[in-house]
Structure 1
Amino acid sequence: MSSDSNSISAALSRTTPVLRLRVWVLITIAIGILMAALFILALRLSIRRNKKTVKGLDRASQTEIPVVSKDINVDRIGAQRLHDSGAPAMPVHDKYSQMKDASHLPESRSVDVDAFSQCSSVYNIEKAGSSYSEDYSSSGPARKGSSPYGYVSASPLVGLPELSHLGWGHWFTLRDLEYATDRFAKSHVLGEGGYGVVYKGRLMNGTEVAVKKILNDVGQAEKEFRVEVEAIGHVRHKNLVRLLGYCVEGIHRMLVYEYVNNGNLEQWLHGDMSESGILTWENRMKILLGTAKALAYLHEAIEPKVVHRDIKSSNILIDDEFNSKVSDFGLAKLLNSDKSYINTRVMGTHGYVAPEYVNSGMLNEKSDIYSFGVVLLECVTARDPVDYSKPADETNLVEWLRMMITNKMVEDVVDPNLEIKPPKRALKRAILVGLKCVDPDADKRPKMSKVVQMLEAVLNAYRQDQKRPSQMGSIDFESQQSLEEISNSAD
């Protein structure tokens, strides 16, 4: 036994040719290398398992992000309330920690949505050039591969946390919007109606916004929310109010729009903005032209087309340069090119709704054109579409105007509060456009792109009349021609 031990010890102590190391040293090194390899292998397997777990969590977090083109499930996020004491705290950013790989919201039409708020820092500028906007001139529609404003402007979402940007817009939490509106204070209310309440707010980056808080009837809120996002979430036009983002939390459904700071057309025409003065004729035509361009874009430039279904003066917002912006798409419908109309429950505002839609429930863009015609005549006369305080034969604006035209009392229909009345030619051309839009036969109503061209001619005629007051002969002759055409339309 002793000899065997001595021989093993001698063998292990023998010097080898490898760096003249002894046998037992080489065996120890080999065992160490093997152990290190096994440790590295185990570490790699552990890292792979962790990655799979993280991916699984990411997928789970994505399901909480609302996919607005499908049914929106009520999430389980509790309503976060600000503390009653002290100033409201700035919104925390923990909500963004699981959204790094969130996919974009699905597109519902063939419009490039890249321009919608992909910015992630105060140094980024909105990539508006990758989105197209439809503008119209006398030559008809033309697509532009640039910003509808003619320049690239900083996004109102600049400076908000990067991971809150989802596709075309921004995902706000309830706490974000409570902070923006001072917990939905009454002093911040801009307007309210059957849909809910609109508040003025200021985001954490200083941007002023309008927050539309849809009524807490969950079914109706989901429907209104989904319709508005699908209608205008992915499109941009300088005469459409811009939808910046949304909030889906608990039972709350809210939409966040750019803030338009100069009231709406109804307020200007019917007295609420009287302290700011009376709308001039030129500004009225400018507002109508911008509205017509927005509708032409919705009807003719995108697929599926959007039928607004609630065009009225209170839904036409005005900025400080008297540019119009069409708002409130809660009743909008999408209409594919393979359908000439859809059957739907009659919705809208009394006095603005097209007669064939009221009678049959058959809806297409011609209904919007009728409503626009009523708005145009409302602009000219400053009368409500339906006013039961008037005599019976003057209650309905369209019928009263036709009666006045038939009796050749065109100049008596213009808004009496206008300090500077429009020239006869401009007035008659404007009325003619309005009468064409409210034609009882829907097939005879012009497309909105044609309306744009006619309104541009009206505005140009007015400006020419202002520059050439001495050329009354030709103006009177053209006025007579316009009068005959108007009379034919009224008949």
Structure 2
Amino acid sequence: MHPSELGTGDGHKKKITVLVVCSVVIASGMLLASYLILRIRKNLKEKTERSRTTVHSSRGKEEDMELPMFDLSTISRATDDFSLNNKLGEGGFGPVYKGVIDGQEIAVKRLSRSSGQGLNEFKNEVILIAKLQHRNLVKLLGCCIEGEEKMLVYEYMPNKSLDFFIFDETKGKALDWSKRFQIISGIARGLLYLHQDSRLRIVHRDLKASNILLDSEMIPKISDFGMARIFGGDQTEGNTNRVVGTYGYMAPEYAFDGLYSTKSDVFSFGILLMEIVSGKKSRGLYHQDQKGNLIGHAWRLWKEGRPLELMDACLTDSNNLSEVLRCIHRFSEKSKEYPGLIFGVVNQIGLTRVKE
């Protein structure tokens, strides 16, 4: 063969060799990349699954949530992609949306990135309320944890919250005294369960009118356990450097010194009771040319022998004035002797199991 032909053959073989080597390298690289991607996805999936099934309590121990998990896509469809038309309101945790899953109406509380409450409060609420079952506590149906999205799914309360009624002159007329007394008793039973009857002793720390939800039969349900704390064993009180809650409902020793106990909740319950009786907010102007809160106003009327003037104007035709007076009586009589403030009130309305 001519030398030039031999040279061409070697060059051709070299090209083929280079192409084969390149193909093998590229194929190996693609296989390696695919393997790495699949591995990363698997690790992310396992991490997500672990975060879905396990959370850390405030004590650092892992606890099984024992709670159904919902996919983000399911929640999104249920709320029509979090439509403004389905928005029920917004609190410190974030916005709340109405939705429907399998024909059941739900309320979805979505953790806002700008929320003053964060992941710890979210975990706290999941751990606590998943273990609590009572007619007067809102029922948690499940939660959703995907990426940065964290949501709680509750039973839907068609009558919104208590403050929606009692602080509105028109809507307040829908609550006669018998219904208000039913609500007072229901809240007291829920509180009694948290403090004494549940296997965990719970201090709510943020009991107020907006955290009392009403179902279709106006049965009250205590909600929002993001700030709640567990007491173990014989523990009766705790201390915190971070005071949370709502001014106007806070017990003095908690607001000033960070000391909280079951008595702190009972104090808040007493303020709530007076709001239900009077239709007035705990903080406001109740005396001409003088600032005052609801406790001071109630005490002043009691000393002047005019306790029934505290009663909401729409209740003046009530046939149960003696029942109203019993509620006001112990509250006003003990208002200067806190912390024994509200236990007497609860005893007076018939829930004698609550003791100081």
C-alpha separation in 2, matches of 1:341 and 1:335: 8
> Which residue is 1:338 aligned to?
234
1:354-396 Cα distance to aligned partner (Å, 9 max, x none): 1111121111111100000001011111111001486464530
C-alpha separation in 2, matches of 1:342 and 1:238: 27
For residue 401 of structure 1, the aligned residue among 298, 305, 315 is 298
For residue 65 of structure 1, the aligned residue among 52, 67, 74 is 52
Question: CA, structure 1 residues 232+440, in 2 after alignment: closer, same or farther (shift >3 Å)?
Answer: farther
For residue 271 of structure 2, the aligned residue among 364, 374, 397 is 374
Question: CA, structure 1 residues 64+312, in 2 after alignment: closer, same or farther (shift >3 Å)?
Answer: closer
> Which residue is 2:257 aligned to?
360
For residue 455 of structure 1, the aligned residue among 335, 341, 349 is 349
Displacement of 1:348 after TM fit? 1.1
C-alpha separation in 2, matches of 1:313 and 1:268: 10
Matched, 1:432 2:329: yes
Displacement of 1:427 after TM fit? 1.9
Displacement of 1:319 after TM fit? 1.7
C-alpha separation in 2, matches of 1:418 and 1:279: 9
> Which residue is 2:221 aligned to?
325
Displacement of 1:220 after TM fit? 4.2
Question: CA, structure 1 residues 192+276, in 2 after alignment: closer, same or farther (shift >3 Å)?
Answer: same
1:187-214 Cα distance to aligned partner (Å, 9 max, x none): 11111122211111111x1110110001
Q: Is the CA contact (8 Å cut-off) linking 2:270 and 2:341 kept in structure 1?
A: no
C-alpha separation in 1, matches of 2:338 and 2:286: 29
Question: CA, structure 1 residues 438+237, in 2 after alignment: closer, same or farther (shift >3 Å)?
Answer: farther
Question: CA, structure 1 residues 68+432, in 2 after alignment: closer, same or farther (shift >3 Å)?
Answer: farther
Question: CA, structure 1 residues 437+242, in 2 after alignment: closer, same or farther (shift >3 Å)?
Answer: farther
> Which residue is 1:293 aligned to?
189
Q: Partner amino acid for 2:83?
A: A
Question: CA, structure 1 residues 419+319, in 2 after alignment: closer, same or farther (shift >3 Å)?
Answer: farther
Aligned residue runs from structure 1 range 384-399, under 5 A: 384-388=281-285, 391=288, 393=290, 395-399=292-296
Displacement of 1:229 after TM fit? 1.1
TM-score, with length taken from structure 1: 0.57
> Which residue is 1:216 aligned to?
113
Q: Is the CA contact (8 Å cut-off) linking 2:63 and 2:127 kept in structure 1?
A: no
C-alpha separation in 2, matches of 1:201 and 1:438: 43
Unaligned runs of 5+ in 1: 1-55, 72-104, 108-166, 459-491
Question: CA, structure 1 residues 438+324, in 2 after alignment: closer, same or farther (shift >3 Å)?
Answer: farther
Based on CA coordinates, which of the two structures has the bigger radius of gyration? 1
Q: Is the CA contact (8 Å cut-off) linking 2:271 and 2:295 kept in structure 1?
A: yes
C-alpha separation in 2, matches of 1:228 and 1:170: 15
Unaligned runs of 5+ in 2: 1-41
Displacement of 1:60 after TM fit? 7.2
> Which residue is 1:198 aligned to?
96
C-alpha separation in 2, matches of 1:68 and 1:367: 28
Displacement of 1:331 after TM fit? 1.2
Displacement of 1:340 after TM fit? 2.5
C-alpha separation in 1, matches of 2:290 and 2:197: 40
For residue 82 of structure 2, the aligned residue among 176, 181, 184 is 184
Q: Is the CA contact (8 Å cut-off) linking 2:70 and 2:143 kept in structure 1?
A: yes
Q: Is the CA contact (8 Å cut-off) linking 1:293 and 1:452 kept in structure 2?
A: no
For residue 311 of structure 1, the aligned residue among 196, 202, 207 is 207
Q: What is the percentage of aligned positions where both structures have the same residue?
A: 34
Matched, 1:271 2:168: yes
- For residue 314 of structure 2, give the secondary structure of its aligned residue in structure 1: coil
Aligned residue runs from structure 1 range 235-254, under 5 A: 235-254=132-151
Question: CA, structure 1 residues 191+391, in 2 after alignment: closer, same or farther (shift >3 Å)?
Answer: farther
C-alpha separation in 2, matches of 1:325 and 1:357: 24
1:61-104 Cα distance to aligned partner (Å, 9 max, x none): 85353412358xxxxxxxxxxxxxxxxxxxxxxxxxxxxxxxxx
Question: CA, structure 1 residues 439+302, in 2 after alignment: closer, same or farther (shift >3 Å)?
Answer: farther
Matched, 1:347 2:244: yes
C-alpha separation in 2, matches of 1:171 and 1:210: 15
- For residue 55 of structure 2, give the secondary structure of its aligned residue in structure 1: coil
- For residue 417 of structure 1, give the secondary structure of its aligned residue in structure 2: helix
- For residue 321 of structure 1, give the secondary structure of its aligned residue in structure 2: coil
Q: Is the CA contact (8 Å cut-off) linking 2:286 and 2:294 kept in structure 1?
A: no
Q: Partner amino acid for 1:224?
A: E
C-alpha separation in 2, matches of 1:211 and 1:430: 35
RMSD: 2.8
Aligned residue runs from structure 1 range 161-176, under 5 A: 168-176=66-74
TM-score, with length taken from structure 2: 0.78
C-alpha separation in 2, matches of 1:219 and 1:430: 35
C-alpha separation in 1, matches of 2:204 and 2:67: 21
Q: Is the CA contact (8 Å cut-off) linking 1:306 and 1:334 kept in structure 2?
A: yes
> Which residue is 2:63 aligned to?
106
Question: CA, structure 1 residues 427+233, in 2 after alignment: closer, same or farther (shift >3 Å)?
Answer: same
> Which residue is 1:95 aligned to?
none
Question: CA, structure 1 residues 314+177, in 2 after alignment: closer, same or farther (shift >3 Å)?
Answer: same
For residue 179 of structure 2, the aligned residue among 283, 290, 310 is 283
